[in-house]
Structure 1
Amino acid sequence: MATPRSSASKTSTPRLSVDDWVACALEVLADEGVAGIKIPTLCKRLGVTKGSFYWHFSDLEAFLAAVAEHWAVGRDEAVASFAALESIEPNERLRLMMLRFADTSTWPLERAVREWARTNPWVRERVAQTDAVMGVKVMEAFEGIGFSKADAAVRSEMLFRTGVGFMLTVPEGGEMDLALGEAMLAILTRP
């Protein structure tokens, strides 16, 4: 006859998924930058051993690639949500796009990824890809207002750089000055 196991006699470690590891790394990335992503640090935060890490990833480089790709896919999905706005009048569409990216809670991670892209060619390329898709959507809205393709491209680039400027200059925990953003958008949409 088998003896029942006592639940107190055996402690269990959490069973983590790839998504758990990536989510933890994204938090560290936003807080400390890519230099803060170290296997021992992640293991301590997650309460597991290095074996758990190596169960999911061959090495830190493969893991970092997964982290960067996860960020990029999330950003691609955010930009893809602009498709739902295509039936809206172009001026209002631009305003709504601006508001979607005015969520300052996402900015620490966005800043960290852009800083990481300065030293990592693959991350730089992935950031450029997602920026290009967003740029096309913004440019299409400017064309919908009636600007030529060339004019729309310049205005789209100016709006993008303004948005990045807000992201880089608003202090941690601060809010974007939406009135200023709307005033800049009004200037960019004038013929």
Structure 2
Amino acid sequence: MTKPINPKPPANSNAKSTREDWLNLALDTLISDGVENVRVLTLGQKLGVSRSSFYWYFKSRQDLLDQLLEHWRDTNTRFILEHAARPSATVVRGVMSIFECWIDERLFDPRLDFAIRAWAHHSGSVRRIIDQADDERVAAIRDMYLRHGYSDEDAFVRARILYFMQIGYYSLDLHESMSSRLSLVAAYLRSFTGQEPTKDDIADMARYASEANARTR
């Protein structure tokens, strides 16, 4: 029977790092330098600890990589699915709920998403995981449109436009101030829904963006 991974090192291990230290450094390295640089020896040197500390928390490098993928699934994909599934009085409010993921990087980290996509260029299994995540995200957004009375085809196409436009926005590395983005939010909502947002809709979106921006300071 496999020994469970303990949350803390044994008292005599002299380890100075925690599991979270390893994971956070591995995530930072994945984002900044690519998966090929997520290596036990390199991470240990940066943390100033021995390899034995790593093997207390992880079975292998592959175990660490699997947990990085799990972290990505449990943040970037999970929050899109949850926000798309929220009850909404109007389709405009439904799209606004999804917009929250694009505004708050605690809900969707574009740098992490594209680090995983870059990893997928060299791994068929990761490519399949990315494809599945994209399908799940689009399906969740499609279901939101369906709940508001759109046809199957219209809901699917609108979901693809909303989702892949945002992914393309990130891939082009466009830089816009939040004020510039908010100045166009009414037009975006009209484009994605075919309906006119209210003044309250726009005000609530601006309020959420302001609060999200304050949290990142």
TM-score strictly above 0.5: yes
1:173 to 1:86, Cα distance in 2 relative to 1, 3 A: same
Q: Contact conserved, 2:34 with 2:119, CA < 8 A, in 1?
A: yes
**Unmatched runs of 5 consecutive residues or more in structure 1:** 1-11
- The 5 A counterparts of 1:24-43 are 24-43=25-44
- Is 1:71 matched up with 2:72? yes
Whose Rg is larger?
Answer: 1
Cα deviations by residue, 1:11-54 (Å, 9 ceiling, x for unpaired): x431522x432222111111112122122221122221112223
Partner of 2:18: 16
Cα deviations by residue, 1:45-92 (Å, 9 ceiling, x for unpaired): 222111222333333223212211221122343134326622342211
SS at match of 1:48: coil
- The 5 A counterparts of 1:170-189 are 170-171=173-174, 177-180=181-184, 183-189=187-193
| Distance across 2 between alignment mates of 1:62 and 1:91 | 42
**Unmatched runs of 5 consecutive residues or more in structure 2:** 1-13, 196-217
The one-letter code matched in structure 2 to 1:44 is: Q
1:104 to 1:71, Cα distance in 2 relative to 1, 3 A: closer
The one-letter code matched in structure 1 to 2:181 is: D
TM-score (structure 1 length as normaliser): 0.78
Partner of 2:63: 62
1:37 to 1:180, Cα distance in 2 relative to 1, 3 A: farther
1:185 to 1:114, Cα distance in 2 relative to 1, 3 A: farther
- By relative contact order (CA 8 Å, sep 6+), the higher-ranking structure is 1
Aligned residues: 181
Shift, 1:157, TM fit: 0.8
1:30 to 1:182, Cα distance in 2 relative to 1, 3 A: farther
The one-letter code matched in structure 2 to 1:16 is: T
The ranges of structure 1 where at least 4 consecutive aligned residues each deviate by more than 6 angstroms after the TM superposition are: none
TM-score (structure 2 length as normaliser): 0.70
Q: Contact conserved, 1:29 with 1:112, CA < 8 A, in 2?
A: yes
| Distance across 1 between alignment mates of 2:185 and 2:169 | 9
1:136 to 1:14, Cα distance in 2 relative to 1, 3 A: same
The one-letter code matched in structure 1 to 2:145 is: F
Identity of aligned residues (%): 26
Cα deviations by residue, 1:80-109 (Å, 9 ceiling, x for unpaired): 432662234221111220232234682211
Provide the alpha-carbon RMSD of the alignment. 2.9
